Amino acid sequence: MAIKSTIFKAAVQITDLDRHYYQDHTLTLARHPSENDERMMLRLLAFALHASDSLSFSKGISTEDEPDLWQKSLSSEIEVWIDLGQPIEKRLRKACGRAKAVFIYTYNYRSALAWWDQVQNKLSRFENLTVIVIPDEAVQAMGHMAQRSMQLQYTIQDGELLLSDGEVSATIIPERLT
């Protein structure tokens, strides 16, 4: 019998001073059995950084031709494609061809830089690709905040993010590689 996903509920308050976006979201996340708390919380971080009424989580890790998150237009064109980790070059080329903007949030700092060194020359022609590394300390701090029911506040200003769950807070400074 297959192991089922674990369901998490998150009440998310986003104050994005950079984009003038101020909204509360009630989200339900399914954490795939092969996904850890850190990666799931990174999905929430990506949601907060790109939040809009049309941004949504896709079917998840087990779906090859969908990103972790995406934003589609009313005519179902992919406006924003967001993936986590270190996708293979072929997947990134496909994403850049299908979406107006592609964002990759990678983590595990050392391996992320090694991965980027291998693929950056092949992907440099894609002007719609942005690759961002999240520092290891921030990923760990987010992982510690993971609970089945969460209330999170994201405050974004000058490219930095303050995440708080009411008891613990973490400052997250994403490093843009492209």
**Distance between CA atoms of 103 and 49, rounded to whole angstroms?**
11
What's domain 6-176's superfamily in CATH? Answer: Restriction endonuclease-like alpha-beta roll domain (3.10.640.10)
Domain map of the chain by residue range? 6-176
Task: Tally Cβ neighbours within 10 Å of residue 58.
Answer: 15
**Contact status, residue 38 vs residue 13, Cβ threshold 8 Å:** no
**Which pLDDT belongs to residue 3?**
78
Model pTM above 0.75: yes
Q: What is the pLDDT of residues 118-157, one digit of tens each?
A: 999 999 999 999 999 999 999 999 999 999 999 999 999 9
Q: What is the pLDDT of residues 53-106, one digit of tens each?
A: 999 998 766 677 899 999 999 999 999 999 999 999 999 999 999 999 999 999
